[in-house]
Structure 1
Amino acid sequence: MTPNPLHPRSWLSRSVAALSLIGALLAAGGAQAQAQPKELRIGFQKYGTLTLLKARGDLEQRLAPQGIAVKWTEFPAGPQLLEGLNVGSIDFGTVGEAPPIFAQAAGADLVYVANQPPGPAGEAIVVLKDSPLKSVADLKGRKVALNKGSNVHYLLVKALEKAGLRYADVQPVFLPPADARAAFERGSVDAWVIWDPFLAAAERQIGARQLTDGRGLVANHQFYLAARPYAEKHPQVIQAIVDELAKLDRWAAADPKAVATLLAPQIGLDAPITELAASRFAYGIQPITPQVAAEQQKIADTFHELKLIPKPVRIHDALPRPAATTAAR
């Protein structure tokens, strides 16, 4: 397994200076940093660098001298994670592209902290190996399982568009990953739109066949988000998370075998499946750029046009405060 060639380690080092601005931006945008909290509550999923960070214990070591404990809570997917953030059960987490948009539409007071580079090969539309379906165009009128509001929701929209179909031409069946896998295996749905490591597991364990992955269709960024009140009260804690994630990315890009070895027991999958999933992950945490924000806005506009969200969403409203950005320039 080799690191993603689109994201070489040299790129990571160029991001460090920009990442150091994140705490300053959040502090300048809201109230002054307050006394250290006693606990940092992080939401994570069975993928991505937060899972690795949890396994290594680097953040606990970083925050322990300040008297801050770290509490980790696992969620089945991004929408559920951001629901937890919205109701105040976690302070920080990682999700794909679509969940923050659905969360904003539901009124969540969140802030984009940073993102990983694109990883479009890490999600795909799959069918069973003996399925008669050979292309995305064959999905017309078919039942397609997906987790509503996850990154794969946008992948389905864009894949159908490229194939000359409308979103209304398929029958979405909204199921979380575990339930979707069960429905997929018993043939209750015709296709499944899913991300790694669930994708890699389906490919290796039951021979699931890809109709398409995200390449040429979507960026599939991994985003780090925080509850805005927490981020603006404790920017130094948010900066500590970002710093440790940047260090982790440098290690992961340099030693992919070690990544798979560490990740496998965390996600409960064997080494070959874990290596396949990890090989499609992109390393190189970076601040949210205007280009990435514009890409998110395009997704938000698309979801509103399809009436998947009830009102327009302005991504700008979930970025660090404008005054903070101006002050940092």
Structure 2
Amino acid sequence: MLRHFTSLLFAGLVAAGGVQAAELHIGYQKSSLNLIVLKSRGTLEKQLAAQGHTVKWTEFQAGPQLLEALNVGSVDFGMTGDTPPIFAQAGGTQLVYVGFEPPKPQASALLVPADSAVRTLADLKGKRIALQKGSSAHWLLIRAVDKAGLKWDDIQPVWLTPSDARAAFESGKVDAWAIWDPYYAAAEKALKPRVLTTGQGLVANQSFYLASKTFADKQGKLLQTVFDALSDNDDFLEQKPKETAQILAKAVGLDAATFDTVVQRRPSFRVTWLNPQVVAEQQRIADRFADLKLIPKTVTVKDIVLAPQ
């Protein structure tokens, strides 16, 4: 996977002996299954140690917080959903797309209480809906509102982190909750909500690997090592789903049955370059957010996509 990464990113690096030891700082979320398993297995640490490098891992509640850390230089590399990098690019963050995972539309949903009077997407009019601003759930909700024939101003978004959103949903302070796995799967198991809609037919719900532009420009060999490790990890994830769920359960603190569901909702973990279709979909998302004036300016996604040579 991504075997031409070195030829693209190594330009500008000092020749043999010029690459100094570094600490790679990776940001991840509870939804960053590939990275969590990679961290738990310790394979990346071993590979980087052989090069004289170390790794520091930091968990974030959601993609917007992770990319804010990348913006200020405390994270070099991380994984988010489709919407956070669009908000980050519009806000001036110097980042680049370096890979993506296949669509997983079933891994996000719009939930309502089991006894809710909300039966259709059109019933969302006037309702309070919890979600993380600038997250993949934000895009899911926009698409749901569009499909219902409503305007964005017809609903009342309540901006909350996933943990705060669950508390608000559970206590009845909001009418609905737009959320992604594993929070979605955990809520299904514990709260027994009704799924008003998943992302199926609405959003691709793809995951993206991103790096700060400065890091990508200067540390091509480190990024190549990360992708080599992810490639090996992809094989583990796809060949050992039960063991994967057990590793995730231990690392995240949710039960293995929840992660069995999470893993089943993902068709693949395979990380590849962004292709023109994926870039076009990201641009469609960016354009819609700009139309709604939910980001400060329009952006051109392809400008920050690293491509194979």
TM-score, normalisation: structure 1: 0.90
Q: What SS does structure 2 have at the residue aligned with 1:80?
A: helix
The aligned counterpart of 2:6 is 23
2:36 aligns to what? 51
Aligned: 1:289 with 2:275: yes
Question: Which protein has the bigger helix share?
Answer: 1
Deviation for aligned residue 1:22: 2.5
1:22·1:113 contact (CA, 8 Å) conserved in 2?
no
**Equivalents in 2 of 1:92, 1:301: separation in Å?**
25
2-side partners of 1:287 and 1:116: how far apart?
A: 9
Q: Secondary structure at the match of 2:177?
A: strand
Shift of 1:251: 1.3
Residues 206-264 of structure 1, C-alpha deviation per residue, up to 9 Å, x if partnerless? 10211001111111111000011111111111111111111111111111101101110
**What is aligned with 1:98?**
83
Q: Say if 1:23 and 1:208 are closer, same or farther in 2 by CA, change over 3 A.
A: farther
- Partners in 1 of 2:82 and 2:221 — Cα distance? 25
**1:308-319 maps to which residues of 2 (within 5 A)?**
308-319=294-305
Match of 2:291 among 305, 322, 327: 305
1:25 Cα deviation from its structure 2 partner:
2.1
Structure 1 regions of 5+ residues with no counterpart?
A: 1-15
Question: What's the RMSD between the two structures over aligned residues?
Answer: 1.2
Counterpart Cα distance in 1 of 2:168 and 2:8? 45
Structure 1 residues 57-106: Cα deviation after superposition (integer angstroms, max 9, x where no partner):
11001101111110000000000000000000010000000000000111
Q: State the secondary structure of the residue aligned to 1:311.
A: coil
- The structure 2 residue matched to 1:192, chosen from 177, 182, 198, is 177
Q: Say whether the 8 Å CA contact 1:36–1:234 is kept in structure 2.
A: no
Q: How does 1:171-182 map to 2 (within 5 A)?
A: 171-182=156-167
CA distance in 1 between counterparts of 2:286 and 2:120 reads 27
**TM-score normalised by length of structure 2:** 0.95
Structure 2 runs not aligned, ≥5 long: none
What amino acid does structure 2 have at the position aligned with 1:306?
L
SS at structure 1 position matched to 2:130: strand
Distance 2:262 2:207 in 1: 14
Letter in 2 for 1:304: A
After superposition, the C-alpha distances for 1:94-120 in whole angstroms (9 at most, x for unaligned) are 000000000011111101000000011
The answer for the alignment partner of 1:183 in structure 2 is: 168
**How far 1:167 moved relative to its partner?**
1.5
Residues matched between the structures, number: 304
Match of 1:164 in 2: 149
Instruction: Please report how far the alpha carbon of residue 24 of structure 1 lies from its aligned counterpart in structure 2 after TM superposition.
Output: 2.3
For residue 40 of structure 1, what is the aligned residue in structure 2?
24
1:234 is matched with 219
Distance 1:37 1:78 in 2: 28
SS across alignment from 1:67: coil
